[in-house]
Structure 1
Amino acid sequence: MTLGFTALELARIQFAFTVSFHIIFPAISIGLASFLAVLEWRWLRTNDSIYHDLFKFWVKVFALSFGMGVVSGVVMSYQFGTNWSEFSRFAGGITGPLLSYEVLSAFFLEAGFLGIMLFGWGRVGKKAHFFATLMVAIGTCISMFWILSSNSWMQTPQGFTIENGIVVPQDWFAIVFNPSFIYRLFHMALAAFLVAALLVAATAAWHLLKGRRDALVKTSFSMALWLILILAPLQIFIGDAHGLNTLKHQPAKLAAMEGHWETNHDHGMPLYLFGIPDMQEERTKYAITIPHLGSLILTHSMNGTVKGLKDFSPEDRPNSTIVFWSFRIMVALGMLMLFLAVTALWLRKKGSLYESKWFHRFAILMGPSGFIALLAGWFTTEVGRQPWIIYGVMRTKDALSPVSAEQVGLTLIIFVIVYFIVFGVGIYYMLKLMHKGPEFLHNAPEEIGGVGHFKTPMRPLSAIDEKIDDQDQGASS
């Protein structure tokens, strides 16, 4: 059952598996919530029913992702008590309150206004409904704020002392606004918006490729591509600033990301385009480099010095083989996103944005790139922090609960089976919704009634109430 893995290795695999599933859904929720707020704002300003109909379509996808995000998030929190109880005992004085603030300030705000956002059409005024949509969008961002604050503190801890073997908070402002927090917050926010924008663009591109040329498809395609054009350069800029912050506060992680072994005291550091870092031989094999470019990017100087991995003890080095490639996957996809947006701008000027089938295929292929880049970025961040769970303070091996490899292995197998069934069905349903596409609804009557009345949904996911198996419905709109 354990396949030779230790309890520590299996616990790390289990957490990586569950968090990889989980992070997908909040990213969709954060990005789509803001997109929905923009759509409703445009509808109120212009009274154009196109924005109303797009809102009614994408709110169904939002409801699905929000529900699955809540379920997968609950599972995440339990693991702190089952597999990582020593971490909770040691650092709970800081991580506990931060996660509690997320529940009190964000989750309650989202839950309080979610019902109005999903089911309030025709029951509350237009401005009241828009306010509810704004509150849900703001709530998702506040949730991200507290989660990133907690995780960033684990990356760059400050504002605490250690008394009687546990962490005691001393300065909450320093804890929340730790050195890496702002960079990581903006990096994650832009990543979530890009996830949603690429999802919307890919959905519209699918329908364009299938022959739809109505205003619903064109508007969503255009809005998503304008958003990507703004976000992709911003993400590159924030990523560069985040890299400089990592160089200052987590130099071992940065060296692992770059496959950089020898500190360059008397020459510029090259940029490794390709290579295979070997942790045993302490070198990067088959390296393809550009001289001095690494120093220029990381220190903004042609001959800037960057610490190599050999300056750190072997037990303090992250796994460069993993981090090197996860980082490059993230960067490469970011460049492709920029290329997608710039190409769209060129096609707009030519007047062929909605007729270029090759570009529509490219946009469809880029649909999952936001998720892949997001996961690659998180792998870079979390694997790059190893062997520390709290950087420089507590090692990951010391955070493990007193559990056996067999126990963790069994629960990991259960998680894999249940997750692929439950979330597989949810993702399949979401894809079916997007395959069906948005429909013109402006001639349909608004919903009437309240709780307990005919056809009034009683649960959030009931907002997705129509059949989606009929692929012909909506295809001819």
Structure 2
Amino acid sequence: MDWLADTVVLSRMQFALTAIFHMLWPVLSTGLAIFLVILEALWLRTQNPLYYRQARFWAKLYVLNFGIGVASGLPMEFQFGTNWAPLSEFVGDFFGAVLGFEGAMAFMLEAGFLGIMLFGWNRVPPVIHFLSTVMVAFGANLSVFWILSANSWLQTPAGGSFSQGHFHVENYFNAINNPFMLRSVLHMSLATVETSMLVVAAISAWSLLSGKAEAFFSFSFRLALVILLVVAPVQILAGHESALQIAEHQPTKLAAMEALWENRSAGESPPWSVVAAPDASDGRNRWDLGVPGGLSWILEGRPRLSHDVRGLNSWPADQRPRMVGLIFYAFRLMAGIGIAVTALMGLSVVLWWRTGLKPEFFRQQRWLSWCWILAAPAGYLAIESGWVVRCVGRQPWTVYGQLRTSEAASQLPAQEVLISLSSFTLLYATLLVFALIFGARIIRKGPDLSLEPPTGPVRGPLPLPTD
């Protein structure tokens, strides 16, 4: 229990808790905002009330996630000043500016148009309302860009120089457009859309399994499936490209992802470990089960390596990640879920073509409904696993190659950090319970099928109170 007296460990645990919990909410609101834009565009083009009711129903889940995302995100950012003050001083000229851009440009844009999107259906013209929904979606996805740019800079710092314990920005564009940025933004943006569509498909499948609002949820399931048909395969390619990027810029992380302890020379055909039992104390895997020659095919698409690949034992113990088992299995969990979701999507498309995927099909083939219901939490698990690989695999560095995590943490009494960690745990557990209760209430109630689209003249704003 020595970790209870270790400020750095407790601060890392606290940031991990707040980051993992916060990530649950903007993931859905970001992808669902794009879904709402598509629905409203369909309604404007066709005037079909079904699309209008779709937009009104799914917007309820959007605003629930948006609210909890705001509440859970603020404590995470405040930790840069409380628990990670040396990091803020070291990289503040760039990191602080980018997080400021996210708040001023992206979050305020999303929040500013959110009120019109939710309450302006009968108060602004339909085109203005649609543009408000577009701005909400644009702001949400702009947040992804700025946050991933900042985090990518921690992975591959660029655009300036380090001296006297401080990063001096020389070119903001090069810092923002650091080597990790583009692929990271693409990978995360696709992940938000894919996970959001998994949630839509899961809720639709559950409702069809229950025989509720069959025409409504049959459409939403099919639309989510069409979007997944595009996104899921591209996400696998984007993930592969991100892994190749890691091999180029962060070889220690790659070695941890593959539990590779010894160097592999060009011309070899090393196996790819499917499962293993990494033992960092001995610098080896106690056992593993691998695919012969698989590593060279994954890294280079050829039977033999064309260049050397370093193993973890080629670095000093204090220069490489320690939690090799966590990184190893988090990577496989993320990749496995991505492949499984793509396979489920492909199977459902085939069944759609052969049977039409009529509402009664979901009750007849309950296994398919439950596969889609379980796919939603699996999508969240894949995203969280990816962030574990991204951040834990960067250790022992906070700013890769420049600032160690032990040097980035504030020197606080361990007891104070333990109290705040316990408080956040209780607070977030409470928020999660209420989110599940209100989310379940929205899903159980279902859509209002009597809701009619706005017609006639647009009403003005709500009257102000008078004395």
The question of 1:248 aligning with 2:252 is answered no
Moved more, 104-113 or 80-89: 104-113
Mapped contact 1:159–1:170 kept (Cα < 8 A): yes
Cα offsets for 1:455-476 (capped at 9, x unmatched): xxxxxxxxxxxxxxxxxxxxxx
Moved more, 47-56 or 445-454: 445-454
The question of 1:391 aligning with 2:394 is answered no
The question of 1:278 aligning with 2:279 is answered yes
Moved more, 81-90 or 281-290: 281-290
Counterpart of 1:381 in structure 2: which amino acid? R
Partner of 1:303: 304
The question of 1:90 aligning with 2:90 is answered yes
Give the alignment's TM-score, normalised by structure 1. Answer: 0.92
Alignment of 1:34-433 (within 5 A): 34-212=34-212, 214-265=214-265, 266-304=267-305, 305-318=308-321, 319-354=323-358, 355=361, 356-433=365-442
Shift of 1:445: 6.8
Shift of 1:428: 2.2
Residues in 1 aligned to 2:407 and 2:304: alpha-carbon distance in whole angstroms: 39
Mapped contact 2:337–2:378 kept (Cα < 8 A): yes
Mapped contact 1:160–1:170 kept (Cα < 8 A): yes
Mapped contact 2:4–2:10 kept (Cα < 8 A): no
Counterpart of 2:280 in structure 1: which amino acid? M
Give the alignment's TM-score, normalised by structure 2. Answer: 0.94
Cα offsets for 1:1-24 (capped at 9, x unmatched): 976451111100000000001011
Residues in 2 aligned to 1:23 and 1:328: alpha-carbon distance in whole angstroms: 20
Q: Secondary structure at the match of 2:167?
A: strand
Cα offsets for 1:379-402 (capped at 9, x unmatched): 010000000000001000000111
Shift of 1:45: 1.1
Shift of 1:195: 1.2
Cα offsets for 1:185-239 (capped at 9, x unmatched): 0110011001110000000000111123632110001011111221111010001
Change (3 A) 1:415 1:213: closer
Cα offsets for 1:130-156 (capped at 9, x unmatched): 000000000111111111100000001
Mapped contact 2:157–2:399 kept (Cα < 8 A): yes
Residues in 1 aligned to 2:444 and 2:293: alpha-carbon distance in whole angstroms: 48
Cα offsets for 1:367-416 (capped at 9, x unmatched): 21111101000001000000000000100000011102111111100111
Q: Secondary structure at the match of 2:124?
A: coil
Cα offsets for 1:42-67 (capped at 9, x unmatched): 11111111111010001011011111
Mapped contact 2:194–2:231 kept (Cα < 8 A): yes
Q: Secondary structure at the match of 1:197?
A: helix
- Equivalent pairs, count: 454
Counterpart of 1:67 in structure 2: which amino acid? G
Cα offsets for 1:320-362 (capped at 9, x unmatched): 1110011111011111110110111111112152303221111
Moved more, 45-54 or 247-256: 45-54
Partner of 1:450: 461
Mapped contact 1:2–1:406 kept (Cα < 8 A): no
Structure 2 residue ranges without an equivalent (≥5) = none
Shift of 1:433: 1.1
Mapped contact 2:49–2:452 kept (Cα < 8 A): no
Mapped contact 1:83–1:400 kept (Cα < 8 A): yes
Across the aligned residues of Structure 1 and Structure 2, the Cα RMSD in angstroms comes to: 1.7
Residues in 1 aligned to 2:3 and 2:245: alpha-carbon distance in whole angstroms: 38
Residues in 2 aligned to 1:133 and 1:298: alpha-carbon distance in whole angstroms: 41
Shift of 1:306: 2.0
Structure 1 residue ranges without an equivalent (≥5) = 455-477
Change (3 A) 1:453 1:353: farther
Residues in 1 aligned to 2:200 and 2:59: alpha-carbon distance in whole angstroms: 12
Residues in 2 aligned to 1:116 and 1:96: alpha-carbon distance in whole angstroms: 30
Cα offsets for 1:82-127 (capped at 9, x unmatched): 1000000111011010011111211121122111101100100000
Residues in 1 aligned to 2:112 and 2:213: alpha-carbon distance in whole angstroms: 38
Moved more, 426-435 or 198-207: 426-435
Counterpart of 2:279 in structure 1: which amino acid? D
The alignment-based identity, stated in percent, is 38
Counterpart of 1:380 in structure 2: which amino acid? V
Mapped contact 2:3–2:10 kept (Cα < 8 A): no
Residues in 1 aligned to 2:163 and 2:3: alpha-carbon distance in whole angstroms: 39
Counterpart of 1:384 in structure 2: which amino acid? G
Mapped contact 1:159–1:171 kept (Cα < 8 A): yes
Counterpart of 1:298 in structure 2: which amino acid? L
Residues in 2 aligned to 1:448 and 1:369: alpha-carbon distance in whole angstroms: 44
Mapped contact 1:217–1:438 kept (Cα < 8 A): no
Residues in 2 aligned to 1:315 and 1:445: alpha-carbon distance in whole angstroms: 64
Residues in 2 aligned to 1:98 and 1:168: alpha-carbon distance in whole angstroms: 14
Residues in 2 aligned to 1:74 and 1:192: alpha-carbon distance in whole angstroms: 20
Counterpart of 1:273 in structure 2: which amino acid? V
The question of 1:436 aligning with 2:445 is answered yes
Mapped contact 1:28–1:65 kept (Cα < 8 A): yes
Mapped contact 2:18–2:76 kept (Cα < 8 A): yes
Mapped contact 1:18–1:72 kept (Cα < 8 A): yes
Mapped contact 1:203–1:437 kept (Cα < 8 A): no
Change (3 A) 1:300 1:360: same
Cα offsets for 1:253-312 (capped at 9, x unmatched): 011001111111152121111111111111122211011111111122322132211121
Counterpart of 2:431 in structure 1: which amino acid? V
Mapped contact 1:91–1:166 kept (Cα < 8 A): yes
Residues in 2 aligned to 1:353 and 1:262: alpha-carbon distance in whole angstroms: 51
Moved more, 124-133 or 443-452: 443-452
Q: Secondary structure at the match of 2:158?
A: coil
